[in-house]
Structure 1
């Protein structure tokens, strides 16, 4: 098999590794492209192409993440990962674990780890690489990688929700949520929201946002119920769609341009967290992006009574 064919077979895996390390679609795609360039420049064929390319993309991602950390510390407002609608790497035997590891909640937990811990955790715990392969990928001993894995696992488990809903329950709750959402049904929304629910948005200073967030079932229900009717009135469309392996939605204006994505997290049969990404820089990989400010202005105008 030619190198290009080998690489294309492994591209979904490489992207999935890079995305989980970086939390950015654009940076993950760049890391994969750089991996291809380095593979082309390698004079001899590696014994295991999968192990070799996984190691290369991991090292590149670690380096990118180290430089990205400083930018994220100066980020305007809440930072959220770039939304991913479809994970290209499908492993039927581990699909549930893979979906969980790409959720917004899991990626935000991974942000607490050092770049090295994050890479080791992703390779070992998410993709099941052996410690020898992990050690080779990150340039540390197997013993050091075992310690990094234990430390990373401890951090992840400490922050992970203990009673998250199963997939079918999530889908049923999401269906009820979006029905109430589209109808502007405050009571219906409040019934589905946890008492301490929080709603946060990532605009990066380039789109409207909900301040530092909206908190509490009553407040969140009222805000949500006020959003959709005027948005639909001006031709906006809310389409339910899986976002980062969890129930969510895509908002588009009348021209089909993307305004934002919405992702839901569940706990004990209720919605615990709602995360919206409005930063246009994080939406471009999904299609043409709308001017969110213009959409909000038009929606606000639609709220005002005529005359």
Structure 2
């Protein structure tokens, strides 16, 4: 088997490690490419190609993450990972861990870990690498890696919902949510939302987004009903789609360009969070991106025209 063939066979695993480390499709793809370049330049055959490549991409990702954390601290508004439509790596024996670790909620929790804790958690808890290999990848002793793993698990477990929803329940609630959203049914939306639901937007200062976190079913349902009822008047389409292993949808303009994505956290029998990503830099891998500012102006003009038409006519 040639180097190319060996690498291509492991590419899905390498991308999946890097994406969970970085929360970015573009950065993960760059890390995979850098890993290939280093592998292509090696003059000696490693004992285990999988171990060599996994170690290489982990170290590259740690370096990228350290610099990325500085940028994210200065990020405008709330930071969310780049949406992932399909995880290329599949392992039936690790399906639950893989699905959970790629969710937006899990990736946001991973942001709270140090780069080393994150690497250890991803390699050990998600992909079940042995402690010796994890220790080699992060260049720490096995005892240090075990301590890092304990701290990482503690942080991750503290942020997870107590009662998770089945796939059937998630799909059913999501279908009802997006149907009510299209119709602008505020009461229908409110009934689907958990008591402590949050709605959060990530525009990165480059697209319209919520300036604050909305909390509670009343506030969230009113915002959704009022905002999206007007959006659909300008031929925005809603495509239900699994995103990061969660129910969600891609919104497109009348020309089919990507406007934003909405991802739902479903647990404990209700929708716990509505997350909207509209930063164009995080959407380009999904296709051509719409001009969100122009669409926002169009919606505002439509609302002004509607309000003006409803004003009573003054008698002469």
Smaller-chain TM-score range? Answer: over 0.9
What do you get for the CA RMSD once the two structures are aligned? 1.1
Match of 2:149 in 1: 149
Q: Deviations over 1:42-66 (max 9, x none)?
A: 1111111111101000000000000
Residue aligned with 1:133, SS: helix
Contact 2:66 / 2:115 at 8 angstroms: preserved in 1? yes
Deviation at 1:299, TM superposition (A): 2.0
Q: Deviations over 1:93-135 (max 9, x none)?
A: 2222211100010001101100000000000000011111111
* CA distance, structure 1, for counterparts of residue 191 and residue 266 of structure 2: 13
Deviation at 1:228, TM superposition (A): 2.5
Count of residue correspondences: 307
Match of 1:300 in 2: 300
Give 1:125-204 correspondences, 5 Å limit: 125-204=125-204
Q: Tell me, which stretches of 5 or more residues in structure 1 are unaligned?
A: none
Match of 1:275 in 2: 275
Q: TM-score, normalised by structure 1?
A: 0.98
Deviation at 1:186, TM superposition (A): 0.5
Q: Structure 1 segments of 4 or more deviating over 3 A?
A: none
Give 1:1-307 correspondences, 5 Å limit: 1-303=1-303, 304-305=305-306, 307=309
Match of 2:314 in 1: none
Residue aligned with 1:45, SS: coil
Q: TM-score, normalised by structure 2?
A: 0.95
* CA distance, structure 2, for counterparts of residue 118 and residue 124 of structure 1: 10
Deviation at 1:213, TM superposition (A): 1.9
Larger Rg: 2
Q: Deviations over 1:224-275 (max 9, x none)?
A: 1123332222111011001111000100000110010111112210001111
Instruction: Pick which of 26-35 and 208-217 moved more.
Output: 208-217
Q: Deviations over 1:141-200 (max 9, x none)?
A: 111111111110011111111112121111111111111111110111000001221100
